[in-house]
């Protein structure tokens, strides 16, 4: 599913690609032709053409909630990881946590990250455990993500 936030990330990635002098792919050129053609029609809604409207049942609030959950799940994935290639000093890094310990600590992390957000209380152990083991969202368990990963909360250089 493409949402307005995902679409904006795609626009950002494409602009960085062009700024870096990386040529457009044939697929990107065909998309641009389609979009510019649609934008030239005065009867078309610009935001709809660009994919910047939320469809029924979807909202910016929902999208932000998914991104917040992704932040917490990414922390859990990092906390249980035994990969020591990313810390500045692997010898001084805390040992990996077990999944249960990470899920127990994750609500504290959510409270620190989300601060005064009234929804921060929803990130309790039971809810986070349910979300971690959600079979439709196993991508959340991945430590290494790309710009096209669902719900990813940060930008990537090209």
Q: List, for residues 75-128, the tens digit of each pLDDT value.
A: 899 889 877 666 566 666 677 889 999 999 999 988 888 877 877 778 889 999
Q: Which residues of 36-69 are buried (b: 16+ CB within 10 A; e: fewer)?
A: eeeeeeeeeeeeebebeeeeeeeeeeebeebebb
40 and 71 share one domain: no
Co-location of 41 and 113 in the same domain: no
In a domain, 31, yes or no: yes
Residue 157 lies in a domain: no
Contact 52, 7 (CB under 8 A): yes
Are 46 and 65 within one domain? Answer: no
Q: Which of 32-36, 52-56, 107-111 has the lowest mean pLDDT?
A: 52-56
Q: What range defines the domain where residue 21 resides? A: 4-50
Determine, yes or no, domain membership for 149: no
67 and 46 in a common domain: no
Tokens of 118: 């009234």
């Amino acid at each position: 599913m493409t949402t307005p936030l995902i679409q904006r990330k795609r626009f950002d990635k494409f602009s960085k690609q062009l700024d870096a002098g990386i040529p457009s792919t044939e697929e990107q050129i065909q998309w641009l032709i389609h979009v510019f053609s649609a934008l030239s029609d005065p009867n078309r809604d610009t935001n709809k053409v660009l994919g910047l409207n939320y469809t029924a049942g979807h909202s910016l609030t929902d999208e932000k909630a998914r991104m917040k959950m992704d932040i917490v799940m990414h922390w859990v994935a990092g906390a249980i990881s035994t990969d020591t290639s990313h810390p500045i000093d692997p010898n001084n890094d805390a040992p990996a946590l077990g999944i249960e310990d990470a899920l127990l600590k994750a609500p504290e992390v959510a409270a620190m990250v989300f601060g005064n957000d009234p929804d921060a209380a929803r990130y309790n152990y039971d809810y986070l455990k349910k979300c971690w083991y959600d079979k439709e969202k196993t991508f959340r368990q991945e430590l290494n993500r790309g710009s096209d990963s669902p719900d990813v909360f940060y930008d990537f250089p090209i």
